[in-house]
């Protein structure tokens, strides 16, 4: 299995359960590992045969930026579903980091892996 990755995608969104969290956008950092077979893209040297990580980034900036989830778990699940369905990926690992959510902790978040059923 080959992996195309996109790490450190920063998106501003409404996320959280507390009233003050829902009043203003916060940053989340998204890391993605996306399974694909890169052999066809390597042979053709054509973006149409590859996972277009720029298109993935733009789509997630729009999707997550417009979202208003309470839980990062819900956000991660919906990001994974979007990637599997819209980009035809067989498997993804989604890591969402909500920096600053816990005082005295640098990073806090969730990592999920999902595949086509």
Indicate the DSSP class of residue 17.
S
Q: Are 53 and 8 in contact (CB under 8 A)?
A: no
98 among known catalytic residues:
yes
Catalytic residue among 54, 58, 98, 116: 98
- In whole angstroms, give the CA distance from residue 79 to residue 94: 8
Cα–Cα distances (Å) from 19 to 11, 22, 87, in that order, read 20, 5, 34
Which residues fall within 8 angstroms of residue 86, CB to CB, at 6 or more apart?
59
Active site members: 98
């Amino acid at each position: 299995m080959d992996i195309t990755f996109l790490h450190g995608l920063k998106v501003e969104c409404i996320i959280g359960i507390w009233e003050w969290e829902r009043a203003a956008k916060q940053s989340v950092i998204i890391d993605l590992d996306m399974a694909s077979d890169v052999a066809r893209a390597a042979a053709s040297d054509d973006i149409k045969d590859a996972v277009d990580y720029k298109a993935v980034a733009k789509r997630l900036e729009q999707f997550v930026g417009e979202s208003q989830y309470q839980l990062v778990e819900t956000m991660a699940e919906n990001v994974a579903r979007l990637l599997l369905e819209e980009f035809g990926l067989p498997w993804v690992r989604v890591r969402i980091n909500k920096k600053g959510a816990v005082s005295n902790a640098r990073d806090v978040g969730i990592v999920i892996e999902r595949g086509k059923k």
